[in-house]
Amino acid sequence: MEKQRRQDYLLKRKYWRGWKPTWNIVNIAVLIIAILENRFVKTTEPVNNTAYQWFLWIYLIYLLIVYGFGAFKRSHIHLHYYAGHFAPLNTVLGIVLIFQDLVTEKLQLLHLPFFVSFAQILDQMRADVQILWESTLSSFGLWLISFVVGTLLGVFLGIMMGHYKRFNYWAFPFLKVIGIIPPVALMPIVLVVFPTNYLAEIFLIVFAVWFPVAFMTINGVQGISSHYFESAKTLGFSEGQIIRKVIIPGSMPSIFNGMYTSMGLSFTMLVISEMMGAKIGLGWYINYAKSVGNYPQVYAAIVIMAILFSVIFALVNKLHDRVLSWNDSNE
């Protein structure tokens, strides 16, 4: 019983909007209107709406399932709070879908080639599914390698500078000077110095990541109370044990703050570096699409980036919650 009440309390904190059936009904009605509008309002552009219609139907079925099961709070408590919290947002999203379809494809208030409908974007994704899939995998692989290396480097330097005064004396001035240099400014040099463009891209993303992580780690290490170090020494901890059992756990919130800060920089640097020297990737795909004037391709890559980066951010957030589950402030 106590566990049930605690779960109910935590869900109310996370999904603070209550369950209101009116919003669910309005949301379903808006999606049905979006389907009918796209199907029956005459279009002024030769657009294949098949993919868009599939998207709308899948979206509608998903909402029907979520709201249907979410209505039973006792057996689906998490879904109940989740569905109630996001019903207004889903309703607005449905209205946006109707609006963008009308002003682009149907009424042409916003003209091609710079403004395209979501139906055109989805149709472009369907047409270029193979190259988009390869580009997405390439971009994700490049980002993952670079982000992990940059984070580990930043954490290592941050611990060394935060814990050892001598190391901080010699290294921190260089951190302040080198770390604030925009990675973009190094591109002309890096692309010439490194033997391959891929290594150059990794370096640029690592350079964008390591400084925020290192700086926040330093603050985290220096913010640990001296009582913890004194207790560890009293218990006979070695230097390695102090780092593993005191410094790393104690500075972990700051490390994650640095990771969150560096994620946006890493995404930006990923796209820029791929635009400059890559032969595959989402940044390369956008650059190619722009050069041939195919703006549906540009928007398709942007939508995929938004989805990919949102998924990455959500996964890092899950890791944050799991690693810091001991911290009462995260409950």
CATH code, domain with 287: 1.10.3720.10
Look at residues 89, 115, 141 and tell me which one is the last residue of a structural domain: 115
Q: Are 101 and 118 in contact (CB under 8 A)?
A: yes
Look at residues 76, 92, 115 and tell me which one is the last residue of a structural domain: 115
Q: What pLDDT sits at residue 272?
A: 92
Q: Are 256 and 167 in contact (CB under 8 A)?
A: no
Determine phi and psi for 279, rounding to 5 degrees. -110, 5
Both 294 and 211 in one domain: the answer is yes
Domain around 145: 129-330
Q: Shortest CA distance to 63 belongs to which of 34, 104, 100? A: 34
CA dist 88 and 95 (Å) reads 11
DSSP per-residue codes, 191-227: HHHSSSHHHHHHHHHHHHHHHHHHHHHHHHHHTS-HH
The answer to whether position 71 is within a domain reads yes
The answer to whether position 217 is within a domain reads yes
Block residue for tokens 């049930």: 4
Both 133 and 186 in one domain: the answer is yes
- The burial of 182, by beta-carbon neighbours within 10 Å (0-12 exposed, 13-18 middle, 19 or more buried), is given as exposed
What are the counts of helices (DSSP H) followed by strands (DSSP E) for the chain?
Answer: 14, 0
Q: What pLDDT sits at residue 329?
A: 47
Both 49 and 94 in one domain: the answer is yes
Q: What pLDDT sits at residue 5?
A: 64
The answer to whether position 120 is within a domain reads no
Helix then strand then coil, in percent of the chain rounded to 5, is 80, 0, 20
Q: What pLDDT sits at residue 9?
A: 55
CA dist 77 and 7 (Å) reads 9
Helix (H) or strand (E) holding 7: helix 2-14
Q: What pLDDT sits at residue 128?
A: 93
Q: Are 98 and 37 in contact (CB under 8 A)?
A: yes
Both 161 and 243 in one domain: the answer is yes
Q: Are 5 and 69 in contact (CB under 8 A)?
A: no
Both 160 and 237 in one domain: the answer is yes
CA dist 176 and 215 (Å) reads 9
Both 84 and 146 in one domain: the answer is no
Q: Does the N-terminal peptide bond of residue 113 adopt cis geometry, omega within 30 degrees of 0?
A: yes
Both 160 and 273 in one domain: the answer is yes
Both 134 and 60 in one domain: the answer is no
Q: pLDDT of the chain along its 331 residues, tens only?
A: 555 666 565 666 666 677 788 999 999 999 999 999 999 988 877 888 999 999 999 999 999 999 998 888 766 777 877 888 888 999 999 999 999 999 988 888 887 778 889 999 999 999 999 999 999 999 999 999 999 999 999 999 999 999 898 998 998 888 888 888 999 899 889 988 988 889 999 999 999 999 999 999 999 999 988 888 888 888 888 888 999 989 999 999 999 999 999 999 999 999 999 988 788 999 999 999 988 888 999 999 999 999 999 999 999 999 998 888 776 544 4
Instruction: Name the domain count of the chain.
Output: 2
CA dist 194 and 135 (Å) reads 22
Both 91 and 180 in one domain: the answer is no
What global pTM score does this model have? 0.86
Look at residues 82, 115, 148 and tell me which one is the last residue of a structural domain: 115
Q: What pLDDT sits at residue 330?
A: 44
SS (H, E, C) 85-121: HHHHHHHHHHHHHHHHHHHHHHCCCCCCCCCCCHHHH
The answer to whether position 238 is within a domain reads yes
Both 43 and 174 in one domain: the answer is no
The answer to whether position 122 is within a domain reads no
The answer to whether position 262 is within a domain reads yes
The answer to whether position 123 is within a domain reads no
> How many Cβ atoms are within 10 Å of 18's Cβ, its own excluded?
11
Q: Shortest CA distance to 63 belongs to which of 45, 46, 79? A: 79
Helix (H) or strand (E) holding 30: helix 21-40
Q: What pLDDT sits at residue 85?
A: 84
